[in-house]
Amino acid sequence: MQKYVCMPCGWVYDPEVGDPDGGIAPGTAFEDIPEDWVCPVCGAGKDMFEPEE
């Protein structure tokens, strides 16, 4: 699955890990995360993430 990088802080969302503390279960694709979810490190919105190359 595609990983996504938070542009402001560099944190990487890995779908295999998810964001359990943020209510996102492991195995959740980035596209399936609710629009109001934010980066657990810096609080940036989902729109501030880009696919990892």
4, 45 contact by CB (below 8 A): no
Q: 30 labelled as ligand-binding?
A: no
Q: 6 labelled as ligand-binding?
A: yes
Of 51, 10, 48, 11, the closest CA to residue 29 belongs to: 51
Q: 39 labelled as ligand-binding?
A: yes
Q: 3 labelled as ligand-binding?
A: no
Report the largest interatomic distance among the alpha carbons of the chain, rounded to a whole angstrom: 26
Residue numbers belonging to the annotated binding site = 6, 9, 39, 42
Residues flagged as binding site for Fe cation: 6, 9, 39, 42
